[in-house]
Amino acid sequence: MTAPTTPHQLFIGGAWRDASTGATFDVVDPATGEVIAAVADASVADGAAALDTAVAAQAEWGATAPARGRRSCATRSTS
């Protein structure tokens, strides 16, 4: 059995992407001190892109039935 993979990118606008600067930071296991992953280190520009995307999607998302919205979000985030 293959272990599930965890995304190491930013999820913005319905897609996984690297940080705009390409920067990453290490995730350290506090029990062992071992580096267990390197993940995207979001910049101010990445935050602004996420906010802009959220604002653009708000009207449609706000009109979505709750159950459908949760299912849609869960499906996209695990793709």
CA distance 74 to 61: 14
- CA distances in angstroms from 36 to 13, 18, 30, 44, 45, listed in the order given: 27, 18, 10, 25, 26
Residue 3 lies in a domain: no
Residue 5 lies in a domain: no
How sure is the predictor about 75, in pLDDT bands with cuts at 50, 70 and 90?
A: low
Number of structural domains (the chain) is: 1
Residue 27 lies in a domain: yes
Tell me the per-residue pLDDT of 30-72, one tens digit each, with 9 for 90 and over.
999 999 999 999 999 999 999 999 999 988 888 877 766 566 6
Residue 60 lies in a domain: yes
CA distance 11 to 65: 22
- The domain in which residue 73 lies consists of 10-77
Residue 36 lies in a domain: yes
Residue 14 lies in a domain: yes
Dihedral Cα 16, 12, 39, 20, nearest 10 deg: 100
